Amino acid sequence: MSTDLARWQFATTSIYHFLFVPVTIGLAFLVALLQTSWYRHENPVYRRLTRFFGTLLLINVAIGVVTGLVQEFEFGMNWSSYSREVGNIFGGPLAMEGLLAFFLESTFLGLWIFGWDRLSKKAHLACIWLVAGATMISAAFIMAANSWMQHPVGYVMNAQHQPVLNNIGALFTNPVFLWSYVHIVLASLVTGSLVMLAVSAWQLRREREVEAFRRTATISLIVLIPSLVLALFVGSELGVIEGTYQPMKIAAAEAQWNTCNSHCAFSLGQVGGGTNDEAPTQIVSIPDLLSILATNHVNGQVKGMNQLQAQYVKEYGAGNYVPNVFVQYWSMRVMAYLATLVLLFALWGAWLLRKHRIENSKWFLRIAPWVVVAPFLMNTAGWMLTENGRQPWIVQGLMKTVDGVSPNVTALEIWISLVVFVAIYAVLGVADAYLMIHYGRKELGESSDKEPDSGSPPDRGGDGSERESEPDESQRVPALIY
């Protein structure tokens, strides 16, 4: 009971936090591109767009930081046995993330917020690029820790039979880390691009600042299409890597109960196929595709769950080593099918841009604000595919989930904290949605009357003191939120 509740609590907080992480990474990169355009071309429109989408970035960062801090404490509260057993390895990348990436991001984000018209243009531009880089470094450390849980490397067992890190380089050359990290960054660029495209489409449909928001629609599509194509490719290769180190995860994702030696078919959908249903009704099967996706070869073998279960019982002892098949099967397909639909939609947008018709396409502009829901569903499905597929392990092959929970935390205590977290996160979610929609629908702010050159000092009054232009309300809000 306590194990299931602890899993539910961590899943709830993790999924909720992961709604904000890709937006932060993606939007930070896109805002940096906008500010770079302003720096290079000195077009005030790009400055206004930078501040407009920078506001959305700051709202997202504020909520994301709050929701992320909770997870650090959960390891000690609900997963103390896990932390005690492998904390010397898992805690390393988390500490690096906090001491390096988080403080780097926070410091230069603060400089970026308050540095308008105070720092030189070059220094101010460097701040937002450092923020964008820090978000990606942060993701690297987190993914290194998570990838070690999927495929433990770089450790030895001590006399107490506890894993001890002896090669930190192995954490960052772990094949699971390399492919999953690139996949996360690409998914974040897709998410950020779709957020920018949704806002741009909403503004274009109302004929507000058409030329300005046509530019952001163009930038978002230029980033979106190659990022999505690469994400599909990298995701496919990640599946091959996981098939090597976590074959049960891939077998469950394909509802493959018995080993297929070659030319394995991929089912587009099925009726039934849960954990206790080994004979589902497959709707459509594509010959050879499963072998290609799982092994990169038409004649590749895909191991079945029944055979893997028997193998793991011999290797690790009695127990059920099959994850939730229904969740695995449909998580993979939700992610892949939505990505394909989004790619088709993005190609439609690119065609409209080429024909100079995007601002006049009624249906594209109507659909785009709703398509922004897709990356959040894809990211959540991908997280569920990754984490559910590792079960019953908390560290693959080393420690089971049931052995990682805190022994002295009762089910009632977890229930209470779970309810409180859900209530607080619901309020934060409503606040975030309101602020993002509210500021995404605001008119584009006016540019400053005077914009200092890259090397010029701030204006000074007659008494020699700095003269600061009074920002309007929309310019003050991001700092107040943060």
Average pLDDT for runs of 10 along the chain of length 482: 80 84 92 91 88 90 80 79 84 83 87 88 91 91 89 87 87 91 93 93 85 89 94 89 88 85 82 69 78 83 88 89 88 91 93 86 90 92 89 88 84 86 87 88 66 46 46 45 38
**Residue 267: strand, helix, or coil:** strand
**Residue 456: strand, helix, or coil:** coil
Domain-ending residue, one of 322, 346, 369: 322
Contact 52, 441 (CB under 8 A): no
Q: 43 with 139, same domain?
A: yes
Tell whether 50 is covered by a domain: yes
Q: 371 with 279, same domain?
A: no
Q: 255 with 283, same domain?
A: yes
CB atoms within 10 A of CB 211: 8
Contact 228, 339 (CB under 8 A): yes
Tell whether 238 is covered by a domain: no
Q: What tokens does 99 get? A: 């001491």
Residue 343 CA to residue 346 CA, distance in Å, equals 5
266-271 and 163-165 as β-strands: parallel, antiparallel, unpaired?
unpaired
Q: 256 with 355, same domain?
A: no
Contact 425, 13 (CB under 8 A): yes
Q: 419 with 348, same domain?
A: yes
Number of domains in the chain: 2
Q: 312 with 370, same domain?
A: no
Close Cβ partners of 79 (under 8 Å, ≥ 6 residues apart) = 6, 10, 394, 404, 405, 406
Alpha carbon 435 to its chain centroid, in Å, reads: 21
Nearest to 67 by CA among 116, 23, 118, 126: 23
Q: 154 with 257, same domain?
A: no
Q: Which residues lie across from 156 on neighbouring strands?
A: 164
Q: 58 with 157, same domain?
A: yes
Tell whether 236 is covered by a domain: no
Residue 322 CA to residue 315 CA, distance in Å, equals 15
Residue 96 CA to residue 93 CA, distance in Å, equals 5
Residue ranges of alpha helices (H) inside 97-174 are 103-114, 121-150, 168-173
pLDDT of residue 477: 44
Tell whether 468 is covered by a domain: no
Residue 300 CA to residue 265 CA, distance in Å, equals 11
Residue ranges of alpha helices (H) inside 165-288 are 168-173, 175-205, 210-245, 247-253
Q: 15 with 156, same domain?
A: yes
CB atoms within 10 A of CB 257: 21
Strand residue runs (E) in 381-454 = 393-395, 399-400
The boundaries of the domain holding residue 271 are: 247-322
Q: 160 with 16, same domain?
A: yes
What residue type is assigned to position 23 of the chain? V
Residue 201 CA to residue 465 CA, distance in Å, equals 44
pTM of the model: 0.86
Q: What tokens does 32 get? A: 């940096």
Q: Establish how many alpha carbons lie within 13 A of residue 342's alpha carbon, considering only the half-sphere containing its beta carbon.
A: 34
Residue 466 is given by DSSP the state: B
Tell whether 463 is covered by a domain: no
Tell whether 189 is covered by a domain: yes
Nearest to 170 by CA among 184, 183, 155, 182: 155
**Residue 333: strand, helix, or coil:** helix
Domain-ending residue, one of 322, 345, 364: 322
Q: 195 with 339, same domain?
A: yes
Tell whether 241 is covered by a domain: no
Tell whether 459 is covered by a domain: no
**Residue 391: strand, helix, or coil:** coil
Residue 36 CA to residue 400 CA, distance in Å, equals 48
CA distances from 369 to 60, 166, 196, 377, 437 (A): 17, 49, 9, 15, 11
Domain-ending residue, one of 322, 353, 371: 322
Q: What tokens does 408 get? A: 């002295």
Q: Using CB atoms within 10 Å of the CB of residue 408, give its burial: 0 to 12 exposed, 13 to 18 middle, 19+ buried.
A: exposed
Q: Which residues lie across from 270 on neighbouring strands?
A: 282
Close Cβ partners of 159 (under 8 Å, ≥ 6 residues apart) = none
**Residue 134: strand, helix, or coil:** helix
Place of tokens 């929970």: 405
Residue ranges of alpha helices (H) inside 246-324 are 247-253, 289-295, 305-316
Q: 9 with 70, same domain?
A: yes
pLDDT of residue 446: 65
Q: What are phi and psi of 199, to 5 degrees?
A: -65, -45
